[in-house]
Amino acid sequence: MPQIFHRSANTLSRATIFGALFVLAALTWVGYMIQGSPYVTYAGVRKPQPVPFSHQHHVAGLGIDCRYCHTSVENSSFAGIPPTRTCMNCHSQIWTNAALLEPVRASYRSGESLQWTRVNQLPDFVFFNHSIHVNKGVGCDTCHGPVDRMPLMYQQNSLQMEWCLDCHRHTQDNLRPREQVFNMRYEQPTETNPVTIDGQKFTEQEALGLYLVKKYQVRSVHDITSCNTCHR
């Protein structure tokens, strides 16, 4: 029986199969990159707000502590968005006629809350508790970035599961003493002086972190990377 296809068809078919695999891999990589990009995560994106509130001015400039506005961050899963009267504690005395703050004054007069746009937003299927992280020694800027240097607030990190799990797998790298949790200029110990514990060498931060893990009774890596810890 005469040969129907030329022998080069074998080479072409192999090239097509291998090419399809490379194309599939490339598409998977592109999808992965898009999924982690600011286009999807909104990391670094400054969202429009009813009032252009500057954390840089209020925190770094005026020295206002995070807890003055976010009153429930130490004892609740939600950090809390300040009511208008919190703003008016000061702005009934200063900048009383500033056009920029008219939405705040209107909210105070009417009793209707300002409709702030959530910046750090997690999906509804994710359980997150601010008080747990605060009381275990996780600083505000660990998750939220240098808020005191943000004229307009934006999300610093992706807040995706991969990012959360990376921190949960290495808790000792991110813990600090509780009294430093709200210190936006806190600096971790340097790595120039290794610390030896039970014959093993650790950086100063790792040694401090391991100490705080025990002191604050942080659960095991197995527990805090378990699915039902965040998905309930």
Q: What is the pLDDT at residue 209?
A: 94
Does any domain span residue 79? Answer: no
- Contact of 148 with 57, CB cutoff 8 Å: no
Amino acid at 5: F
Residue 207 inside a domain? The answer is yes
220 DSSP assignment: P
225 lies in some domain: yes
pLDDT tens by residue, 208-224: 999 999 999 999 999 99
If you average pLDDT over residues 168-196, what whole number do you get? 89
Is 146 among the domain residues? Answer: yes
The pLDDT value given to residue 49? 95
Q: Is residue 16 part of a domain?
A: no
Residue 98 lies in a domain: no
Plot region of 72 (φ>0 → left; ψ -120 to 50 → alpha; else → beta): alpha
Judge whether residue 1 has pLDDT over 60: no
- Whether 23 is covered by a domain: the verdict is no
pLDDT on residue 133: 97
Separation of alpha carbons 196 and 206, rounded Å: 11
For the segment 89-118, the average pLDDT, to the nearest whole number, is: 95
Whole-number average pLDDT of the chain? 90
Residue 73 has pLDDT above 80, yes or no: yes
- Output the pLDDT for position 192: 66
Query: Span 56-74, mean pLDDT?
Result: 95
Quote the number of domains for the chain: 1
16-25, 84-93, 164-173, 177-186: range with lowest mean pLDDT: 16-25
Q: What is the DSSP letter of 114?
A: P
> How far apart are alpha carbons 188 and 21 in whole angstroms?
45
User: Residue 47 domain-assigned?
Assistant: no
Task: Count CB atoms within 10 A of the CB of residue 161.
Answer: 13
Residue 85, both tokens: 């009267």
pLDDT digits (tens, 9 = 90+) for 4-42: 666 666 677 777 877 788 888 888 888 778 877 888 888
pLDDT at 6: 64
Of residues 15 and 149, the one with the higher pLDDT is 149
Range of the domain at 164: 121-230
Closest by Cα among 59, 60, 54, 61 to 151: 54
